[in-house]
Structure 1
Amino acid sequence: MKKLTDFEINRKLEKLQDWDYYDDALHTDFEFDNFKDCMSAMNRIAFECEALNHHPEWTNNYNTLDIKLTTHDVDGVTKLDFKLAKAINKIVEVEE
C-alpha cells in the first residue's frame, strides 16, 4: 500500500465532507443526540472496519465521536483510509 502525497490527499478531501488532514491522518468528529445513538454508530462502523481490516483510532465522550484514520504500515494516509472515511460518512449519513 502506498502513502498518498499531500497533494493527492487534498484533492481527495475536496470530495469528502467533514474530514480534515493533519498530523499524517484524516480527522473528523460527530455529535449525536445521545450516548446510545453514538454507540450504535460506533458498532455499525466497527463492522465496516472489520470488513476492510482497517481500524480507526477513535474516542467517545457521551454523545461525541472523534475519529482519526491513518495507515500505520506506511506512517500516513492511503486510499484505504479514504475508503473507510467514505463508508463512515454513509453510516453516519453525513449530508453534502
Structure 2
Amino acid sequence: MKKLTEFEISNKLEKLVDWEYYDNALHTDFEFDNFKDCMSAMNRIAFECEALNHHPEWTNVYNTLDITLTTHDADGVTELDFKLATAINKIVEVEEED
C-alpha cells in the first residue's frame, strides 16, 4: 500500500467529517451518551477492522473514544486508512455540519 502525500491527504480530508491529520496519522474522537454506547460502537468498528485487516490505535475513557489511523507498513497514511475512517464515520453516524 502506497503512502499518500500531504497534498493527497489534505484533499481527502475535505470529504471526511471530523478527522484531522497530524503526527503522520489521521485522528478523531467521539463522545457517546455513556460507556455502554461507546463500547457498542467499538465492537461494531472492530468487525469492520477485521474485514479490512486494518486496525486502529484507540483508547476509550468512559464515554469517549479516541482513534488514530496510520498504516505502519507504509510508514504513514494510505488509502486503507481513509477507507476505514469512512467506515467508522458510517458506523458512528457522523453527520456533516451545515
Query: Shorter-normalised TM-score: what interval?
Result: over 0.9
Counterpart residue number, 2:66? 66
1:12 shift after superposition: 0.1
Name the Cα RMSD after superposition. Answer: 0.2
Counterpart residue number, 2:52? 52
Tell me the percent identity: 89
Structure 1 residue runs without a partner (length 5+)? none
* CA shift digits 1:17-68 (9 cap, x unpaired): 0000000000000000000000000000000000000000000000000000
Which portions of structure 1, spanning 4 or more consecutive aligned residues, are displaced by more than 4 angstroms?
Answer: none
- SS of aligned partner of 1:29: strand
Structure 2 residue runs without a partner (length 5+)? none
Q: What is the TM-score when the length of structure 1 is the normalising length?
A: 1.00
Counterpart residue number, 1:75? 75
Task: Tell me how far apart the structure 1 counterparts of residues 24 and 76 of structure 2 sit (CA, whole Å).
Answer: 5
1:70 shift after superposition: 0.1
Matches within 5 A, 1:7-22: 7-22=7-22
Task: Report the residue type matching 2:30 in the other structure.
Answer: F
Aligned residues: 96
Q: What is the TM-score when the length of structure 2 is the normalising length?
A: 0.98
Task: Tell me how far apart the structure 1 counterparts of residues 25 and 75 of structure 2 sit (CA, whole Å).
Answer: 9
